[in-house]
Structure 1
Amino acid sequence: MSATTPPRLVGRRDERASLDDLLVDLHSGRSAACVIRGEAGIGKSVLLDYVVAQGRRATVSRAQGIEADIELAYASLHQLCAPFMSGIYDLPDPQRDALQVAFGMAAGDPPDRFLVGLAVLTLLTRASETRPVLLVVDDAQWLDRVSLLTLEFVARRLLAEAVAMVFGVREPEGASVLVGLPEIRVQGLDAGAAAELLDAAVDGLLEEKVRDRLVAETHGNPLALLELCRGRSAAELAYGLDAVETATMSSRIEQDFVRRLNALPDHTRTLLLIAAAEPLGDPRLMLRAADLLQITPDAAPATAAGLIELGETLRFRHPLARSAVYRQAAPEERRAVHRSLATATDPVTDPDRRAWHAAQACDGPDEDVATGLERAADRARQRGGMSAEAVLLERAAELTPDPWLRGTRALAAASAYFSAASPDRATELASLAELSPLTALDRARLDRLRARILFARSRSDEAAPLLLQAAQALAAEGSPLARETFLEAISATVFAGRVHGPAGARAAAVAARSAGTKPSASAASDQLLDGVATLLADGHEAGVPALQRAFEPFVTEELTSREETMRWLLHVPVAIESFIHHAWDLPAWDALSSRAVRLARDTGALSVLPPALIYAGGVEIHHGDFAAAARMIDEANAIAAATGNAPHAYAALVLAGWRGDEEAAMDVIRPALANASERGEVSLLGVTGYIRAVLYNGLAQYETALEAARAGVEHDGYNFTGLPLVEHIEAAVRCGELDQAQQSLHRLIDLTSAATSGWAGGASARSRALLASDDDADQLYRTALAEFARDRVMVEVARTHLLYGEWLRRSRRRSDAREQLRTAHDMFDAMGATGFAERARRELHATGEHVRARTIEVATALTPQEAQIAALAAGGMTNPKIGAELFLSPHTVEWHLRKVYSKLGISSRRQLPSALRSQGSHGRLEIAAQP
């Protein structure tokens, strides 16, 4: 039997126009995404039917979210991708492997969902090359979580592909779903359209007053109008329909479905209950279950009552009809149905759904069922479905009769919820585990989990002591997790900005060294912990060499699995912060951040790619390549936005300070300070003090720079202590506060004495030059230039030329001063460090030399993403490889390149290298500021 005809679409002129525009874009080869939002029954599904009917020239794939207690990872995504799966073997190997594991087609390491998203993006893009692709999803709020997040990622990365995605989202249930995508908000029908719908649906002539009352009571909700009027004549509506003012529209519609359900034969109601409990709608499975329950599978009465539609599958006319059927059934009836479905489900081809139905059939603890759920959870984890793993483990814990095993499973569920970014549910399951008789080792793991949840919610110093306690407890139990947790405790103190005190980094380091812990799974990470602990516990003289010994094994460690790679990526921030702020080692920073970016890209780990890009951007700032830094920061922020994470502020702050635009810099600094206060992330106070000092030293506002630098110097943190000292010395000398400058110089010499890097040597020599006698200053400046150049700290090379030139001018050596100042000005001008460039220009003017300010040609301004794509293309990388590198489709890459060609006045890829060199050599290639 064919499905019944959907309700006639009346009114909705604006909504149809928006969907028509979307289809015009699609058939013109442009991407589109749209979310149709509204309450139950408001007409979202009818609008989705409309866009499917109008988009018949496209390849259409549909999916329906179904409210269910079980969540099967990637089930909805697999359903949507089914028409395009013939192209899976043409995907790049990492993408193909990730998609096959996610869809249960192959075994392997759990895939990163963002790599799965990139694979889906590539799959759809390639399918759209022959015919436009239209994906339509109804009730998206009920998709399995990982499918929904992956589809959202794809929707946000579409740009120049013939792919459209249209989602229906019920509110208020889905108010937080797919936020930020273009949307159509559907309201009730206006009076004219509602009247037209009623006149067509009601048998007989409806009085105007009655019609107005119905429209008012239903708020123009079309499903409510149709369902409340179904089977009633105009006379019955005039006298027999009671309004229930206090009920919600959803409950009123559901009540009407219940009324029709109660009129059905018992065997038909049981068949509907089977369908409601089995969201796939597999008719063979339902027939087997019906046979086990010894009922006649007669759906005709339900079809006649308007509750279901029959086609290839049995489909409820509306999700409220499904919920009415399921909720109306008695608990023992639901359990009997789930028991029959568990028996009817194939244990080999669908063990997870079988385990879930068996769990729903239980009316008390059952270890066999709990064990089945635990195995299903492990399979979900292998597919990358962390949310599904958590739900299955939670139910397994509920059904576990043994108290100790119940606590262990609750702890595993809490950990899975934390990994799935559901800290509230993780906390609830952790509380359940805490009530169970856990072993000492499990209790230590529980303490660690609670501390990690707290740290994820706030970077305050509350998490650090809890992590330290957990590490000590794990060490007492001989767990290899202890060393990892000590490193996490130190990391927490880095963000919290605490070195001293019982909750500081030094306390964690001393505890780590005295704990006598077993080696962890990574010898390189163990050596890193030893180096950091020595640094914190014994000081720089012993600690910096120990840290340097850890560098080589850590940066070259062979990583043979995704788990090992992710662990390395999680530990690398502590390593980088240590090499920046204690070893003053820019080459080490460069090597570590470059490897972090490469590993994050290769594994598709978009959750850790943004901070890796931020660290790499920091390297480029110090190399003096502000354009490259801006590209990395922009990409990091774009990925963070696409993955629903907060942007990382550190490199953007540093870049803003060096660029020297006070207004633009403060626009970045103010929210960072507010965020630091809100989250308790005290280390941000240190970095903002340093950045404001850089900014105002560049602007020659030395009093303000002195105050800002003092805030950075007084910051008692693991990072951003030495760098503010450099700024403080310069500002204090310019303000005549020589005692302050001398005190900071002593501290700086102590911090840099054990470091062997050019960065450390340059910072020490130049700061000493500012306070040295004329006889010594000249040589100290020359030493600083050589040392900074040795490590390619080019911003500091330029800065030293400026300070050296200023000293030479004040020493009345104008000719020598011009040479240094001209070099400084040219370097800063090429970098885009406008504050320092202007300071150098004024100094040159004082020597009698005039310099014309550079004019930015707006027409050639490339966005950071355009500049990055142009650079990769100029280097010989193909569009598919660039797309894989930047998590874009090849079509989007080509779209950006066409814009680049237009801006640079060229017509082909072959001209890119020379065009970029030419633009750069003339100082005209600008990177457009992002809003």
Structure 2
Amino acid sequence: MHASADLPGWRRAAELTGRRAECGALDRLIGAVRAGESRALVVHGEAGVGKTALLEYLAVQALGCRVARAAGVQSEMELAYAGLHQLCAPLLDRLGHLPAPQRDALRTAFGMSTGPTPDRFLVGLAVLSLLSEVAEQRPLMCLIDDQQWLDHASAQVLAFVARRLGAESVGVVFAARGVGGDLAGVPELAVEGLREADARALLDAVLPGPIDARVRDQIVFETRGNPLALLELTRGAAPSELAGGFGLPGLGALSGSIEEKLLRAIAALPEQTRLLLQVAAADPSGDPALVWRAAARLGIGADAAAPAANADLAEFGTRVRFRHPLARSAAYRSASARVGQQVHRALAEVTDQELDPDRRAWHRAQAAVMPDEDVAGELEDSAARAQARGGLAAAAAFLERAATLTLDPAERAGRALAAAQAKIQAGAFDAARDLLAMAASGPLSDSQQAQVDVMRAQLAFITSRGGEAPKLLLKAARRLEPIDADLSRATYLDALVAAIFADRLAGPGGNVLEVARAAAAAPPPRHAPSAPVLLLDGTAAGLHEGYAAGVPALRTALSDFGDGMSAEEELRRMYLACITAMRLWDDDHWELLSARYLRLARETGALSELPLALTARAHMLLFAGDLTAAASLTEELQAVTHATGGVLAPYGALGLAALRGDEAGASALVDATLEDVTRRGEGVGITFAEWANATLNNGLGRYDKAMAAGRRATAYDEDLASMCWSLVELIEAAARCGKPETATGAHDRLAEMAGATGTDWALGAQARSQALLSEGDTAERLYLEAIAHFGKTRLRVDLARAHLLYGEWLRRERRRTDAREQLRTAHNMLDVMGVAGFAERAARELRATGGTVHQRTTPARHEGLTAQEAQIARMARDGLSNPEIGTRLFISARTVQYHLRKVFTKLGITSRSQLDRALPGAAGAREGVR
């Protein structure tokens, strides 16, 4: 192991002692990066355990690599992208090589140019591309210390990059106190206290003379092997103190924190030196000129720095640097409130208002001793600039401080509302609740009170996807009625969506019937009915008055959807439009709308909408029998939710596992989903999970389990449309279990929907289900009717299952020849689509008729591809460039090329043009990917 020659002796000792395993792991990481691979790692442990020393080791050992560094600074946590700028600033000479949207997003985030607020994840893609571009020249090692003190925007982007690394020759290593949060899923290296023998060796290496063995053992025990604690507790101690015995009277209580030890060291310094440290601690920039200008205003002389350096607390050279972040925080804490205000006032006075207005405003805010409207106004301006750069956390901090500095109660309430909205967007939900409480204590207009209600509902919906959100949105919608009728109706529509999501788990006063009744009584629109207006009226009527009552308005809404609507409004209402098409059994509009929804979400970069768009499209493709394309979208959905930290039940994955007959995978997914959605209040997830459970077991021929799941899926009967798919599974399972009363009751509800909507999908499902309850010529007529109806749709899975049920009925009627024809058709269709459980059921029935089941040939070459390779290959086949694929999957273009080389080798081809013949596919698959 090699240590940097210019490191202080205490750090070299800590680095060289007891860290062989950790250094070995870092050596392997370096080797992988040099070999052309990428690696990410979180080195985590408590403060002072030696994480920074391990990063120093990594920097020294990374011979042949370019090293880029950043460190979180506690007082800079509210400045958006500050940490990211530290890391990327030396690399920006390669910025011109990035795609224009990524380049513009990064320039705006760093304040290099003006423009609309950049999407956080577009910034992430830009950083990923930048690191990949730099690594083209030589391997790149990125070291980020004190990750827990990064600003929120930087932390999110760097974690995003770490999870998307592939084959870029880039290493990203974080040092953090804890794991999880933004870094969840990134490989970890835990750094714990030194073993007892190593801790003793460290003490022996740094102490100037011998130490009493009993005293040494007590120090090791009290510090639990923490290297910094070992060093701090013995620094400056006289030999007599170290020889005394277990009590260590000269050192004080060993159970005290390291920061308390540092506070004592700071208190021992001359007054001017303490004040200089407090100035330096309050300024996170490390700019010595700025610090000394502020010091001069406070009457601090140049000789004040020497005692701090002699005490090994801070250095005042070309940059101001504290020996350890805890030393910075201890220095800041050592100032009284009055002194702290003086320090911030001096820094504000010497900070250039033109070059750094936000930091000046922040210093002025910390210096304020009472409400100050002038400072509050500056903070509002700073918040606007921060928001324009995508710094939601910074904007929220500025607005929160502005609210506390506002004297006028009404103005304070308004600023608190703005701060709460920013906190919600920034993910600071507890702080948002506190700010809403602050706003509620002041005089609020009716409009502002409605905003409070809406934000409380947003918090409930975001954090639980149901629960109390419908009731809260309903309250806000009612309050808005006399203020803004259009906004009131829009909020009613949001309440309906929330109620449909909450389903059986909605809180009192917020179930679908209560929300629908209230929405039905909403003020009439001021303009001619539009698609959103009709969606509200039709959905409310269908829930309140009965399924059939809503069909006319909803059918018109689907036909008119998009007319006269902006892309933003389309996106906001497209999810409801898609599920309305499903609830009306309208596969034509489901196909058109789900394709447009996905295209709009991608084109506009609306990553918040993308999970719902992918889910709606994946289910359309599942029912169309294109499981390959549905799987691609499901994999993409996992990448999106992993990258964004979104919360949504895995609806696509549930359907895919069920149709594939994957018993172990589907069962585990169902159990996990039920636990998750119940905890969060996403009641509709219970219906979908149990539908998947019933479908799986119907395919496997386990009809008792399918019937039990179907009953659970349809137990909540206040929203008939939400049960549409589940009723079909329950009828089939109950009929097979000899429970005609259960099957008949479910069929009656299905027939109500089919009679009202009259689509071929609904009529086919109703005829197929009724055939299971019929006999003789009636049953045969209904089976043939179902096949005819499904044949007019794109729903190939339902068509194949109609052939299967008809074939099973024919076999029981002893019409073996006719049965073989139907069963062979069903088996061939299901087998080709990959609907394995039902395919095997068809195969068993076919063998029972004396027919031959033609086994599939040996797996095609494409079946040897990994899931990600297959997904990339399909996208490349369909014309997407490497950067487009990378953007879609949140990986770099270089990683895409790396996977494509492996794809070409496995498929035995040499170019993209050959992918078309090497991969299976259909028009639906291509559209689903594109």
TM-score, scaled relative to structure 2: 0.91
Q: How does 1:157-168 map to 2 (within 5 A)?
A: 157-168=164-175
CA positional deviation for 1:129: 0.7
Distance 1:522 1:193 in 2: 77
Partner of 1:463: 469
Q: Which residue of 2 aligns with 1:88?
A: 95
* Aligned match for 1:437, one of 434, 437, 443: 443
Separation in 1 of the partners of 2:722 and 2:175? 48
Where does residue 634 of structure 1 map in the other structure? 635
Distance 2:800 2:785 in 1: 14
- In structure 1, what is the equivalent of residue 897 of structure 2? 894
Partner Cα distance (1:219, 1:501) in 2: 52
Q: Equivalent residue for 1:276?
A: 281
Give the conservation status (yes or no) of the 8 Å contact 2:341–2:366: yes
Q: Which amino acid aligns with 2:887?
A: A
Question: 1:617: Cα distance to partner?
Answer: 1.4
Q: CA deviation at 1:555?
A: 4.4
Which of 203, 207, 210 pairs up with 1:202? 207
- 2:926 paired residue number: none
Deviates more, 1:74-83 or 1:183-192: 183-192
The answer on whether the counterparts of 1:37 and 1:168 sit within 8 Å (CA) in structure 2 is yes
Query: Are residues 1:31 and 2:38 paired?
Result: yes
Distance between the aligned counterparts of 2:113 and 2:526, measured in 1? 33
1:550-598 deviation digits (Å, cap 9, x = unpaired): 22553466646xxx2xx644433322221102x2122322333333333
Gaps of 5+ in 1: 922-931
On the 8 A contact 2:288/2:317 being kept in 1, the answer is: no
Which stretches in structure 2 are left out of the alignment for 5+ residues?
923-930
Which residue of structure 1 lines up, in the alignment, with residue 853 of structure 2?
A: 851
Cα distance change on mapping 1:645 and 1:876 into 2, 3 Å: closer
Asked if the contact 1:204/1:234 (under 8 Å) is kept, the reply is: yes
Aligned partner of 2:75 in structure 1 is: 68
Residues 228-237 or 590-599, more deviating:
228-237
Equivalent position of 1:691 in the other structure: 692
Distance 2:858 2:489 in 1: 52
1:115 equivalenced with 2:116 (yes/no):
no
Cα deviation per residue 1:81-134 (whole Å; 9 max; x = unaligned)?
Answer: 112222223322322232222222333332221221111111111111112111
| Corresponding position of 2:267 | 262
Which residue number in structure 2 is paired with residue 288 of structure 1?
Answer: 293
CA distance in 2, matches of 1:728, 1:256: 69
Task: Tell me the residue number matched to 2:594.
Answer: 593
Which amino acid in 1 is paired with 2:886? G
Once residues 735 and 699 of structure 1 are traced to their aligned partners in structure 2, the CA distance between those partners, rounded to angstroms, is 14
CA distance in 1, matches of 2:345, 2:243: 46
Residues 844 and 200 from structure 1, CA distance in 2 versus in 1: closer, same or farther, beyond 3 angstroms? closer
Correspondence list, 1:35-184, <5 A? 35-68=42-75, 71-170=78-177, 176=181, 178-184=183-189
State the 1:354 CA deviation.
1.1
Amino acid at match of 2:194: L
Contact 1:611 1:648 in 2 (8 A): no
Separation in 1, partners of 2:541, 2:364: 55
Whichever residue aligns with residue 411 of structure 2, its letter is: L
Query: Secondary structure of 1:721's match?
Result: helix
Q: CA deviation at 1:243?
A: 6.7
- Kindly indicate whether the alpha-carbon contact (under 8 Å) linking 2:460 and 2:467 is maintained by their aligned counterparts in 1: no
Pick the aligned partner of 1:400 from 380, 387, 406.
406
Give the letter for the 1:170 counterpart.
R
One-letter code of the match for 1:218?
A: T
Give SS of 2:73's match: coil
Structure 2 residue aligned with 1:237:
242
Tell me whether 1:873 sits opposite 2:870 in the alignment: no
- Asked if 1:759 corresponds to 2:748, the answer is no
Q: Which residue of 1 aligns with 2:363?
A: 357
Residues 4 and 767 of structure 1, relative CA distance in 2, 3 Å threshold: closer
Q: Distance in 1 between matches of 2:528 and 2:286?
A: 46
Distance of 1:495 and 1:219 partners within structure 2: 49
Tell me how far 1:513 sits from its aligned partner: 4.0
Matched, 1:420 2:422: no
Comparing 4-13 with 770-779, which one deviates more in the overlay?
770-779
Give the SS at the match of 2:141.
strand
Deviation at 1:448, TM superposition (A): 1.7
Secondary structure class of the residue paired with 2:481: helix
Q: Which amino acid aligns with 1:516?
A: P
- Could you list the per-position Cα deviations for residues 355-375 of structure 1 after superposition, in whole angstroms to 9, with x for gaps in the alignment? 111110011111111111122
Matched with 1:301 is 307
Q: Counterpart of 2:172 in 1: which secondary structure?
A: strand
**Match for residue 833 of structure 1?**
835
Tell whether the 8 Å contact from 1:70 to 1:392 is kept in structure 2 after alignment. Answer: no
Matched, 1:338 2:344: yes
Residues 1:809 and 1:445: Cα distance change in structure 2 (over 3 Å): same
Query: 1:66 and 1:294 mapped to 2: Cα distance?
Result: 27
- Measure the CA separation in 1 of the matches of 2:836 and 2:543: 38
Please state whether the residue corresponding to 1:714 is helix, strand or coil: coil
CA drift of 1:889 comes to 0.8
Residues of 1 paired with 2:555 and 2:222: CA distance? 75
Counterpart secondary structure, 2:354: coil
Residue 747 of structure 1 is matched in structure 2 by 749
**Structure 1 counterpart of 2:659, one-letter code:** W
Deviation at 1:457, TM superposition (A): 2.7
Tell me the CA shift for residue 196 of structure 1: 4.3
Distance in structure 2 (CA, Å) of the matches to 1:470 and 1:670: 35
Q: Which of the residues 889, 899, 904 maps onto 2:907?
A: 904
- In structure 2, what is the equivalent of residue 618 of structure 1? 619
Aligned residues, how many? 908
1:733 alignment partner, one of 732, 735, 747: 735
- SS at 1:35 equivalent: strand
Give the structure 1 partner of residue 816 of structure 2: 814
Asked whether the equivalents of residues 610 and 648 of structure 1 are also in contact (C-alpha less than 8 Å), the reply is no
2:268, 2:662 → 1: CA distance?
A: 74
339-348 vs 292-301, greater mean Cα deviation: 292-301
Q: Write out per-residue CA displacement over residues 606-658 of structure 1, whole angstroms, 9 at most, x where no aligned residue.
A: 34322322222111110112222222222212332333334532222222222
TM superposition shift of 1:402: 0.8
Task: Give the distance between the partners of 1:521 and 1:88, measured in 2 at CA.
Answer: 50
Amino acid at match of 1:318: H
The letter of the residue matching 1:879 is N
Q: Secondary structure at the match of 2:43?
A: strand
For 2:722 and 2:520, locate their aligned partners in 1 and report how far apart those are by CA, in whole Å. Answer: 25
TM-aligned CA distance change 1:255 to 1:665, over 3 Å: closer
- The equivalent of 1:925 in structure 2 is none
Shift of 1:535: 3.5
Give 1:31 shift: 0.8
Question: 2:570 and 2:112 mapped to 1: Cα distance?
Answer: 28
Task: Tell me the equivalent position of 1:329.
Answer: 335
Partners of 2:222 and 2:711 in 1: how far apart?
66
Match of 2:807 in 1: 805
**AA matched with 2:71:** Q
Query: Which has the higher mean CA deviation after the structures are superposed, 49-58 or 232-241?
Result: 232-241
Residues 1:710 and 1:266: Cα distance change in structure 2 (over 3 Å): closer
Q: Report how far residue 833 of structure 1 moved.
A: 1.8
Report the counterpart of residue 926 of structure 1 in structure 2.
Answer: none
Among 862, 881, 886, the alignment partner of 1:883 is: 886
Q: Percent identity?
A: 48
> Equivalents in 2 of 1:518, 1:396: separation in Å?
38
